[in-house]
Amino acid sequence: MFTEEPSTEQTPLPPESTVSSEAPTTEPPAPTSEPFSFPPPPSPPTVPSGDRRWYRLLLAIGTWFLSLLLLLVVPLIVAVPYFIYVWKTRGVPNPQALANDKTLLFFSILGIIPTHLLTLLLVWLVVTEWRKRPFWKAIGFEWPKSASPLVSALACVLIAVALFVLGAVVTSRWGGSKTQLDLLVESSLPARFATAFVAVFTAPLVEEMIYRGVLYSAVEQALGRAVAIAAVSLLFAGVHVFQYQNNIAVILVITMLSFSLTLMRAYTGKLLPSFIVHLVFNGIQSVVIVLAPFFGWGSS
């Protein structure tokens, strides 16, 4: 006979929960050390492609205007401490005394150096579009590919020497009275040396970048090459008229130099050749300025 034994089968336990009943031990993420970086530059205003050449033209004209404003304001700011000193020690000076004050004239020349540095910063911001483009390549500060750099440099030096000799002939034959620049240079020996320094180390670079760099390329794209050559050349000569208003021959020489530099910029497509010509031309002129009192040049 069969007897039933108690069943050994047990009710299976529910599966172990995959979620722990204990509170999760979450640790805060370890701080990550990232190198410090400046915030990205602001994006330039979006301009429709069809209007971009006119936008660049307005921007170039504004840059040129601001460069002139800096040239008027910054030297005055540099001279303010000396003006205050004169006021406190000698009383309120009259305009005639200020015009003949050799120290004040020296400070006015010295003030051109920070003016040019601020102008370079302005040009850099405009050309790079707030640090988005390479500066030297965008402004065309390189030699043309049609000739080797050595040949191009020698040609620029020869052109500069020829322009200086031609200018000397013109001023010696048809020169008038002394210009404002002559009187400024002859006011003192420090003023003479400061003028020579500015003429070599800052003026050629700043003036070429403003006129043949920013302004020329914008006018050429908007209005064509012929208008750009005429407009930029006349503007460059025009801003120098005040310095040379007493001498029509010097104005003619500056106009000749301006057209020569702009034509080089137009037909080489680069800025470096006109800069080298400008630099050498001013360099020869600065040597004459420095040595003139020691050799009696221009004393008559």
Taking the CA atoms of 222, 228, 232 and 238 in sequence, report the sign of the dihedral they define: negative
pLDDT tens digits, one per residue of 136-193: 999 999 999 988 999 999 999 999 999 999 999 999 888 778 888 888 898 899 999 9
The model's pLDDT over 233-262, given as tens digits with 9 standing for 90+, comes to 999 999 998 888 888 999 999 999 999 999
Q: Which of 17-21, 65-69, 123-127, 229-233 has the lowest mean pLDDT?
A: 17-21
Confidence of residue 32 (pLDDT cuts 50, 70, 90): low
Summarize the confidence of residues 33-37 as an average pLDDT. Answer: 51
pLDDT digits (tens, 9 = 90+) for 68-88: 999 999 999 999 999 899 888
Q: Taking a C-beta distance cutoff of 8 angstroms, is the pair 199, 280 a contact?
A: no
Instruction: Measure the CA–CA gap between 73 and 115, rounded to whole angstroms.
Output: 9
d(CA 222, CA 219): 5
pLDDT of residue 19: 44
